[in-house]
Chains A and B, each alone.
Chain A
Amino acid sequence: QVQLQESGPGLVKPSQTLSLTCTVSGGSISSGSYYWSWIRQPAGEGLTWIGRIHTSGSTNYIPSLKSRVTISVDTSNNQFSLKLSSVTAADTATYYCAREDYHGSGNWFDPWGQGTLVTVSS
């Protein structure tokens, strides 16, 4: 059973770069044909999809963050990563990684990591 686990600093200073890693266990990140996604949720608010990377290496990002976001994959360590530059307090949120599974009937996020809280503050 595939499991995902986020890791990275819980506190980032304004204007710096937020860097998170999602480690995949119980299966190879390269096997099958999946998208690997990042989603965030400010405290008490809803879910926002940030972007994804395909096992082929292709990426998609939400337009509002596209200029600041990079998602990459490290197949040797079975991980994928998120970098968000020039952060502000508005980027404070719980960040989730998730696998996007897709079939002819659609795509869905399953499983999810447990989430990691990142606070942007000096």
Chain B
Amino acid sequence: DIQMTQSPSSLSASVGDRVTITCRASQSISRYLNWYQQKPGKAPNLLIYAASSLQSGVPSRFSGSGSGTDFTLTISSLQPEDFATYYCQQSDSTPRTFGQGTKVEIK
């Protein structure tokens, strides 16, 4: 199985901050990497697919980059509604695997 490791596990930030979350795969997954946002009590919501493609309806302050084993999710200017937990997920092979999540909290 491909292991996905996110860092940090949590972070505190202020509205307007630039936030970066990293995701590392245990082996190369090309660009088969997706990012999801999950708010408490809600299902995850797709933000970024194929490493850097923005899902329709997702604000442009979200961006993704990377290939191979190292990936990044960036929020250019954190908004109040962005406080949530973020997960990466690989679609290179089955079983599909997710990172452990990064919780973005208010400073």
Binding site for B on A (CB under 8 A): 37, 46-49, 51-52, 60-63, 96, 98, 100, 102-103, 105-110, 112-115
Contacts and interface: CB of A to CB of B under 8 A. Distances in A.
Contact of B98 (A49, A63, A103, A113): A49
A105 B43 contact: no
Contact of A106 (B1, B50, B94, B97): B50
Given A103-B50, A106-B34, A115-B43, 9 more contacts: A37-B96, A48-B98, A52-B94, A52-B96, A105-B50, A105-B53, A108-B34, A108-B46, A109-B44
Interface residues of B, number: 26
B31 interface: yes
Contacts, number: 67
Contact of B91 (A63, A96, A108, A115): A108
A109 B89 contact: yes
Interface in B64-107: 87, 89, 91, 94-101
Q: Secondary structure at chain B's binding surface: helix, strand, loop or mixed?
A: loop
B55 A107 contact: no
B55 A112 contact: no
B100 A109 contact: no
A47 B87 contact: yes
A114 B42 CA distance: 6
B49 interface: yes
A96 B97 CA distance: 15
Contacts of B55: 110
Q: In the complex, which of the residues A61, A96, A110 has the most CB atoms of chain B within 10 Å of its own CB atom?
A: A110
A82 to B, nearest CB: 15
Given A109-B44, A109-B46, A115-B43, A63 B101 contact: no
